[in-house]
Each structure stands twice: as C-alpha cells, then as structure tokens.
C-alpha cells in the first residue's frame, strides 16, 4: 500500500505529462483532460513517455491533433490490417445503414449468413464446422473456453506464460501477461483450473537450453505433467484427463511479437491428440492475413479444433467469433450465449467487405512480398547495430530485440525505450513490449507500400544510431 504522503499513480502520470518538454500543445492539453476524466488503459502510458491523441488516419499514415504525421506500425493493435479509411469499407457501411439493416438483435440476416459460410470455408479443417459470432476478442475467447468445457465436461485449460487472451473475468486467468493479471488475483474460482506453461521464446529459452532445444523442452514439460499424474490435469494410469483444452497464440503477440520455432504447433496438436483435449488457436491478432496467410497456423499446416478470430475482420468496428468442429456444439441447443450485438448486420457487412478486399487486392501475396522486402533491411540493421540482438518476421508481423551484448543477451531496456520514443518524435509509431521490456514490434497495415517501408527503416535506423551513440555503443 502506498503511504499517504506518496503520490498516487494517477498523479505521477499527470506530473509526467505536465512536465513533458517536447509534447505539442494539443496533445498535452488532451492527455491532461483524458487523465482527469478517464481511467486509462494499460497500454497508453507504458509504451512511450507520453501518448499522442490521434485525430486522423489514411492508409498507413496517421496524424495527431497537432497535425504531426506518423507511419502507423500499431494499426489499432492489428485491428486495422487494411490501413485507415478505405473507401470501399465506407461505402459498404453507408449502404448497409441507409438501404439495408444496421442492427436488429442477435438474429440471422443475409450478410450474417454469407459471412458465416465464408468463415467456414476459409478456416483450416476439412470437417463440418459451426461459427459463433461475438464482438471483442475477449468475448470470443470466453465463448471458446465455455464451449470447450461444456463439450468435454472438463474444467482445466492449459495456457502459456506471456499469453494475452483478453481481460474480462473469464479470460483474465488465461492471460499470462503479468502486468495486467497481477491486479486481479485471485482469479474467479473456476479459473483455478488454468495451468500455465512456458512458451518457446527460443532466443531466451526458458529452460536455459539452446534455441534448437526450446520447442522440444516446452512440449516435454506439458507431456510430463500430463502423463505422470503429479498435477490435477489428469492421471493417465487411472484413465483420467481433466484438461478440456489448450489455448495458444500461434505467435505470441502482446508479449513481444514472438514467433515460435517450427514444430511447436504440430507438437501441440500431437499432445492434444495423445491426451484427448481440444486445441484452440487464438488468431485474433495473427489472423486475417497479418502473417501472409489468412491464418498463421497455415504456415505449419496444423488444424485446431476451435479457431478464435477478431480485430481486423471488423476494420475498426467490433467483430469477433469462433469457428469450431460442429460436433462440439452438438449437445447445446440455443442457450450457449446471446448478445444484443453478436452477428450484427453492420459488422457482418464490414466483415464480408474486408474479406472481399483481401481477395481483390491480393493482400496475402502482397503481405508476404512486403515481409520478404523487409528481410534484407533487417539484416543490414543487424550488421550496423550492435544493440540489435535478434528479430523475427513473418509477413508484416515483426518483432525486434535489443541487448547490451549479443553474447550475454543482457536486455537493453532503457535503450529500447529510448528508440521507441525517438521513432515517435521522428514520425514512426511502433510498440515497446517483450517479457523484459526490450522488444519493439511493427504491425503496419498488411497493404503498406514499399515507399512507406523504406521510410520506416530510415527512421528506425536513425533512431537506433542516435540511441547507440547516447549509450556509447558506437
């Protein structure tokens, strides 16, 4: 407990903003207003010294209230994969609102029937499926967990350290990202049945082994804990499995845009089949073309029992849901969930339009090509900058890690923080994250143009140079 004389966290934030030297007037006044009237979310004040008030977006660019322009490498946390203000989305929304239907409760509509059929077609798995639509990613994950528990009649769920699956009461227990979950302990009672395991963050193998050993070690630990009967997850010798499902992000996004080595997803599929639990892929952030395929799990050809989607399907308005094996829904009639806005006609129309645009503009191919275009630039950064420890990229899903020394891998936390802030000052908004606060992620629109990519790397290169000079690396 803070003692009475110590400043409250909110007052410290306010001081930080009031004393920020290079904040422009509109941003400063707006953030002060915001802090005085709202309870801020976790991200806004943890990524930069101070946040911006973004007023406008077009394509891969955004502008703050004082007119400063930025390349957008945050895209509403991957909700704006198509970039900002695509006319086709605006026209579809106008037409839907004026000539068709906005919302009329959780009923079927022509757009909804169309979207659900398309989702069934474009998700992996050659088996009968069913969809349940929702609004936020957290809603959809909650539905996946309810379904898994009801269908298997088991309670335990396996999740991973560092995972982010949402922040409502049902999903908070799954989220292994400590900064948020620490506020809410103990979790709601049913979520005492959540078991966290290490994620294969190979660069910092949690077992202390080599990068090559990482996947096997992570999988072995789950296997051992499932097979030995030393945890409540089950006792195979007595024929008991208490695990309903394992939920995983195919790449761990909010934790630092970490791509696990190949073999991880297949290994999880094998474990699910061996012990008879369900496999849930949370593709809320990795899906919708972000990694150059519609769903990230397609890179490994691994099929989940339930796939969770959200964010970019709505191009800025809430849309999410799950697609699962039809048999999982067999014992449930109509009472699984009901919601005023789930499957609302406007959201479905936008979802259909987003899918049309991905096809029309060949965005999966474009995203893959852009990722390839970035690779030599990343190699050049590695050559030129001793503080760059590693990077991982798939499509336009990019994470970079900064270290004081490539041998010891000591995290360069202050340097990383400074790089993100210098990038911001120079017109590039990217995100500070990582288990140790020494990673930066870049999730621009998946249709970002080459010229924007060139400028992105110029700003980034100059920012790393400036910070390396400041800390005496070069």
Ligand X SMILES: Cc1ncc(COP(=O)(O)O)c(C=O)c1O
Residues engaged in binding ligand X (CB under 6 A)? 77, 136-138, 141, 164-166, 249, 253-254, 282, 284-285, 310
Distances (CA, A) of 112 to 319, 341, 344, 351: 12, 12, 7, 9
Of the two residues 65 and 288, which places its CB atom closer to ligand X in the complex?
A: 288
Dist CA 372 CA 394 (whole Å):
9
Least distance to ligand X from the beta carbon of 353, Å?
20
Of the two residues 310 and 434, which places its CB atom closer to ligand X in the complex?
A: 310
Of the two residues 57 and 176, which places its CB atom closer to ligand X in the complex?
A: 176
Dist CA 64 CA 86 (whole Å):
19
Least distance to ligand X from the beta carbon of 413, Å?
22
| Helical (H) or strand (E) element with 429 | strand 428-429
Least distance to ligand X from the beta carbon of 254, Å?
5
Of the two residues 286 and 370, which places its CB atom closer to ligand X in the complex?
A: 286
Of the two residues 17 and 398, which places its CB atom closer to ligand X in the complex?
A: 398
Least distance to ligand X from the beta carbon of 43, Å?
9
Residue nearest to ligand X (CB): 137
Of the two residues 254 and 392, which places its CB atom closer to ligand X in the complex?
A: 254
Distances (CA, A) of 161 to 255, 345, 346, 456: 9, 37, 36, 31
Cβ–Cβ < 8 Å for 471, 410: no
- The full DSSP string for 295-333 is SGGGGTT---SEEEE-GGGGTTS--EEEEEEGGGGTT--
Least distance to ligand X from the beta carbon of 25, Å?
31
Least distance to ligand X from the beta carbon of 98, Å?
28
Dist CA 46 CA 295 (whole Å):
29
Which region holds residue 193: left if phi is over 0, alpha if psi is between -120 and 50, else beta?
Answer: alpha
Residues 6+ apart with CB under 8 A from 459: 71, 423, 426, 427, 428
Least distance to ligand X from the beta carbon of 177, Å?
10
Cβ–Cβ < 8 Å for 111, 141: no
Least distance to ligand X from the beta carbon of 433, Å?
11
Q: Give the 3-state secondary structure of 121-139.
A: HHCCCCCCEEEEEECCHHH
Of the two residues 119 and 453, which places its CB atom closer to ligand X in the complex?
A: 119
Helix locations, 168-235, DSSP H:
178-181, 214-227
Cβ–Cβ < 8 Å for 299, 283: no
Of the two residues 307 and 448, which places its CB atom closer to ligand X in the complex?
A: 307
Of the two residues 136 and 368, which places its CB atom closer to ligand X in the complex?
A: 136
- Which value, to the nearest 10 degrees, does the dihedral of the CA atoms of residues 284, 290, 294, 299 take? -100
Least distance to ligand X from the beta carbon of 326, Å?
24
């Amino acid at each position: 407990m803070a003692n009475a004389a110590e400043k409250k966290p909110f007052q410290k934030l306010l001081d930080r903003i009031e004393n920020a030297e290079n904040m422009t007037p509109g941003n400063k006044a707006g953030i002060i207003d915001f802090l005085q009237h709202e309870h801020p979310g976790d991200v806004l004040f943890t990524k930069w010294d101070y946040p911006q008030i973004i007023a406008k977006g077009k394509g891969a660019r955004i502008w703050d209230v004082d007119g400063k322009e930025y390349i957008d490498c945050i895209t509403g946390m991957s909700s704006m994969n198509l970039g900002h203000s695509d006319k086709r989305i605006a026209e579809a929304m106008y037409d839907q609102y004026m000539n068709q239907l906005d919302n009329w409760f959780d009923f079927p509509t022509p757009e909804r029937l169309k979207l659900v059929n398309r989702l069934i077609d474009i998700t992996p798995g050659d088996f009968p499926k069913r969809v349940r639509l929702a609004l936020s990613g957290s809603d959809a994950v909650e539905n996946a967990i309810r379904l898994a528990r009801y269908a298997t009649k088991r309670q335990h769920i396996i999740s991973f350290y560092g995972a982010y699956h949402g922040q409502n009461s049902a999903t908070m227990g799954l989220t292994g990202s400590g900064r948020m979950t620490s506020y809410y302990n103990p979790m709601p009672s049913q979520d005492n049945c959540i078991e966290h395991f290490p994620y294969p963050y190979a660069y910092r193998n949690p077992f202390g082994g080599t990068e090559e050993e990482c996947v096997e070690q992570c999988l072995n630990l789950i296997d051992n804990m499932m097979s030995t009967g030393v945890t409540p997850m089950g006792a195979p010798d007595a024929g008991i499995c208490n695990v309903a499902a394992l939920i995983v992000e195919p790449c761990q996004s909010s934790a630092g845009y970490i791509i696990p080595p190949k073999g991880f997803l297949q290994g999880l599929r094998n474990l699910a089949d061996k012990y008879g639990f369900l496999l849930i892929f949370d593709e809320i952030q990795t899906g919708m073309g972000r990694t150059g395929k519609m769903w990230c799990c397609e890179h490994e050809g691994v099929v989940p029992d339930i796939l969770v989607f959200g964010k970019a399907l709505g191009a800025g308005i809430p849309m999410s849901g799950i697609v699962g094996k039809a048999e999982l829904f067999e014992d449930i009639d109509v009472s699984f969930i009901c919601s005023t806005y789930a499957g609302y006609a406007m959201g479905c129309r936008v979802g259909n339009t987003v899918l049309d645009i991905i096809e029309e503009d060949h965005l999966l191919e474009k995203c893959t090509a852009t990722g390839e275009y970035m690779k030599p630039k990343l190699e050049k950064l590695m050559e030129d900058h001793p503080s760059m420890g590693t990077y991982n990229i798939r499509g336009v899903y990019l994470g970079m890690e900064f270290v004081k020394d490539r041998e010891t891998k000591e995290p360069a936390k202050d340097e990383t923080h400074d790089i993100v802030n210098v990038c911001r000052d120079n017109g590039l908004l990217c995100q500070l994250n990582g288990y140790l606060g020494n990673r930066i992620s870049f999730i621009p629109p998946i249709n970002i143009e080459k010229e924007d990519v060139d400028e992105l790397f110029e700003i980034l290169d100059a920012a790393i140079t400036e910070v390396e000079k400041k800390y005496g690396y070069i």
